């Protein structure tokens, strides 16, 4: 763990506001593994990858993510259902989310629940950049 003073005078604020922990949920095992690897290696994020609602809610309790990255169409639930379940956990009621989807059109109700909705395929660098940008916009609100 990096101590806040290592960042200099603004260290504590920078340490608190940087996007560090992403909980990624996708029911496709290969997509789950590949995306988690990309986020960790290319983006430098700490990533917890899960394949469904139950696994995500259990992981969120211990992992305490800064951001949820959720596939919209999971086998056992939808991305918004996972988001709602995680937000019921103590201390995670305001955790932001970004949805990933193969759909070309997403209902506005879903869009309103997320910082962003990304349409697959999303390249590795673009994914990291878009998540960082969505997080920065969220922190500046």
Burial class (CB in 10 A: 0-12, 13-18, 19+), 123: exposed
Q: Whole-model pTM? A: 0.86
* pLDDT tens string 12-70: 333 447 999 999 999 999 999 999 999 999 999 999 999 999 999 999 999 999 999 99
Of 100, 23, 18, nearest in space to 63 by CA: 23
Are the C-beta atoms of 35 and 71 separated by less than 8 Å?
no
Domains of the chain listed by start with CATH number: 19-139 (3.40.50.2300)
């Amino acid at each position: 763990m990096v101590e806040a003073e290592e960042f200099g005078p603004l260290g504590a604020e920078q340490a608190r506001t940087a996007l560090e922990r992403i909980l990624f949920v996708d029911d496709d095992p290969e997509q789950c593994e590949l995306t988690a690897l990309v986020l960790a290696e290319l983006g430098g994020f700490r990533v917890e990858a899960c394949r469904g609602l139950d696994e995500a809610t259990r992981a969120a309790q211990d992992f305490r993510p800064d951001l949820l990255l959720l596939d919209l169409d999971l086998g056992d639930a939808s991305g918004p259902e996972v988001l709602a379940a995680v937000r019921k956990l103590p201390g995670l009621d305001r955790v932001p989310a970004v949805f990933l989807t193969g759909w070309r059109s997403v209902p506005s109700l879903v869009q309103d629940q997320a910082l962003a909705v990304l349409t697959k395929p999303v390249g590795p660098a673009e994914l990291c950049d878009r998540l960082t940008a969505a997080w920065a916009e969220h922190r500046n609100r």
